[in-house]
Amino acid sequence: MARTSLPVAGFATLSYVVSQFHIGYLLYQLRPNILVLQLSFHPARYWAVLSQWGEAGLRNYRAHLPWDFAHLFIYAAFGYVLATRAGLFDEPASRAARRTAWLLPLAALFDLVENLLQVHLLGGPFGAQSLAIPVSAGCSAVKWALAAGFALIVAWRVLRKSARIGLLSQ
């Protein structure tokens, strides 16, 4: 396991936050929001969301995809670096650190498949019944579950570390 490096962890965190805000800025106006589309397992629901967005929404969604491909590498690196370089895990927990370190890179793989399926769907006929829709939604669900798991583990580690530091200073 790599040694602690707070500047590296800080840079990874800043890169992630900037990238995440940029993606959010590109898509904030979509109603229903992007999560509704990502978790639409049924083709009729998927195409209904895209219809509600209209041409302007579709243009924004298509335009965000190149940034989203870059973003998945950024958040994968962020997760790995945060788990291995931020000092959240002590040496006895190195197995937990390694497992946590791979949660966001694994989520990024599911995100990559989801994005590729979205590009495929957007390039085909509008309204087509396609197995790519539920597969994409499944990838998205796994991606979000892995990201939530990562966030919970990191929050728990930060709370534990903060409690230990608080106890030592008293």
pLDDT in tens, 21-48: 999 999 999 999 999 999 999 999 999 9
99, part of any domain:
yes
Does some domain include residue 28? yes
> Looking at the domain assignment, is residue 95 inside a domain?
yes
Mean pLDDT of the chain: 93
Domain carrying residue 32 = 6-169
Would the pLDDT of 161 be above 90? no
Count of domains forming the chain: 1
pLDDT attached to residue 1 = 42
Is 48 among the domain residues?
yes
CA pair distance 167, 170, nearest whole angstrom: 6
| Domain assignment of residue 155, yes or no | yes
pTM metric for this prediction: 0.91
Closest Cα partner for 83 from 162, 141, 19, 156?
156
Say what the pLDDT of residue 94 is: 81
Amino acid letter, residue 95: R
Residue 10 lies in a domain: yes
Is position 86 within any domain?
A: yes
pLDDT of residue 102: 96
* Local confidence band at 132 (pLDDT 50, 70, 90 cut-offs): very high
pLDDT at position 92 is 46
- For residue 1, is it within any domain? no
Question: Would you state the pLDDT for residue 91?
Answer: 61
